[in-house]
Chain A
Amino acid sequence: MREMIKMLIVLTVLATLSGGLLAAIRDNTKDRIENQVLEFVQGPAIRSILEEATNDPIIDRFQIKDGDVERTFFVGIIDGEPRAITFETFGKGGYGGDVGLMIGIDTNDDQLLGVGVTTHAETPGMGAKAKTDPSFAAQFRELSLEEPVNVTGDGGSINAISGATMTSRAVCTAANDAVKIYQKLKPQLAEKLKEFNK
């Protein structure tokens, strides 16, 4: 019986201490990890979209509540004006799950600035080209927001990656979702963007 109690106490104390230690470390590294994830996962996509921006979009970010979700928007200052925003949406129906897509919109003339795939689980060499082949993403540049984006097979203007129609569709879905979100949040976004006007 005494041995039982000893086991219980030792294990409980050990588990509690390690739990406390981990919680403390997590608290202290949380912000840094968030920045690192932004820098290395979303960062490359953001920077390729906002090539012309003169600021660091990863630092100039803000959040807006959209229903239940907090969305993070990255601001790009182009020609001295905070006119470009980028944010991430997830396109359902990729071959290996959802496809994360960073999308950039020019708020002055309501045009797509470009897109960039962030996270995906598509087949290397096939669907993964959505991320690695710049010519696919380049097709989204300067498209108008008026018409929905679609692959040519669905009556749109985007040439799907050969052998990866599902991935290409998922990217288009994500882009269309993003446009809807943008149009819904436009007044709030305009408000926030003014703060970056220096």
Chain B
Amino acid sequence: MARSIVQEFTKGLWDEIPPFRLVLGLCPVLAVTKSVENGIGMGVATTFVLVCSNVLVSSLRKVIPAKVRIACFIVIIATFVTVVELVMQAFAYPLFLKLGIFIPLIVVNCIVLGRSEAFAFKNGIFRSLLDGLGMGIGFTLSLSALAAVRELLGTGDLTIWEKPIQVFGPSYQPFSFMVEAPGAFVALGLMLCFMNLVGKK
């Protein structure tokens, strides 16, 4: 089933949107979606790693021996994650403080390793780039959507660029369960349910 180049990009946005359809990379999905800002930051960081590692793995796919491919993927991914970590520390330190341990944990994010193994190692550079970009944007959108639901119900505000916007007005009683850890599971469950309802043919 050959896909067109456009489909290679768009599949990550809906058909195979990582956390909701593939149900991969749930650790950051649950942990950092307390506010929209964190969700977007995490999504952009992951997208960068995904695109870079996909391109590099794909361009080295004829050189990397199959037996040590996982080790090579991990070296490549870990390098880009450390790049993100350093750059984020240098230019967006408050965001780095909020995301904390979850930035280094991108190394073991299933989506990144999964795309290298399942896609980039078998496909050309351009297709891998589109695949990484699509998956990354899909991941960012999912994180933002989930974070928006949680933040909106949990605090009544939406924080964008450090400026909270009151959506429900001052009379809203925050349902703070939603920004706690258990709320993440409930929100994710409802989201998956919604996605399955919508996607049913």
A and B physically associate: yes
Contact partner of A22 among B63, B82, B94, B97, CB < 8 A?
A: B82
Cross-chain contact B76 with A18 (CB below 8 angstroms): yes
Cross-chain contact A26 with B89 (CB below 8 angstroms): no
Q: Would you give the shortest CB distance from B8 to chain A, in whole angstroms?
A: 26
Given contacts A10-B63, A40-B97, 6 further A-B contacts (CB under 8 A): A7-B67, A10-B65, A18-B76, A21-B79, A29-B86, A39-B93
Q: Would you give the shortest CB distance from A111 to chain B, in whole angstroms?
A: 33
Cross-chain contact B90 with A33 (CB below 8 angstroms): yes
A7: B residues at CB distance < 8 A: 65, 67-68
Interface size of A by CB at 8 A reads: 19
B91 within 8 A of A: yes
A123 within 8 A of B: no
Q: Report if A37-B93 is in contact (Cβ < 8 Å); known contacts: A11-B71, A14-B76.
A: yes
What is the CA–CA distance of A33 and B89 in the complex, to the nearest angstrom? 6
A33: B residues at CB distance < 8 A: 86, 89-90, 93
* Secondary structure dominating the interface of A: helix
Q: Report if A29-B75 is in contact (Cβ < 8 Å); known contacts: A10-B68, A11-B68.
A: no
B45: A residues at CB distance < 8 A: none
Q: With CB as the reference atom, state the residue of chain A lying closest to B96.
A: A36
Q: Chain B contact residues (Cβ within 8 angstroms of A): what range? A: 20 to 34
> 25 A-B residue contacts at CB 8 Å?
A11-B72, A14-B60, A14-B72, A14-B76, A15-B75, A18-B75, A18-B78, A21-B79, A21-B83, A22-B79, A22-B86, A25-B86, A25-B87, A26-B86, A29-B87, A29-B90, A32-B91, A33-B86, A33-B89, A36-B93, A37-B89, A37-B93, A40-B93, A40-B94, A40-B97
Cross-chain contact A11 with B75 (CB below 8 angstroms): yes
What is the CA–CA distance of A125 and B68 in the complex, to the nearest angstrom? 49
B187 within 8 A of A: no
B31 within 8 A of A: no
What is the CA–CA distance of A22 and B80 in the complex, to the nearest angstrom? 9
Cross-chain contact B86 with A3 (CB below 8 angstroms): no
What is the CA–CA distance of A40 and B93 in the complex, to the nearest angstrom? 7
What is the CA–CA distance of A18 and B81 in the complex, to the nearest angstrom? 11
What is the CA–CA distance of A25 and B82 in the complex, to the nearest angstrom? 9
Q: With CB as the reference atom, state the residue of chain A lying closest to B79.
A: A18
What is the CA–CA distance of A37 and B88 in the complex, to the nearest angstrom? 12
Question: Which of B63, B65, B94 has the most chain A CB atoms inside 10 A of its CB?
Answer: B65
The 10 closest A-B pairs by CB, nearest first: A18-B79, A36-B93, A29-B90, A32-B90, A33-B89, A7-B68, A7-B65, A40-B93, A29-B86, A33-B90
B64 within 8 A of A: yes
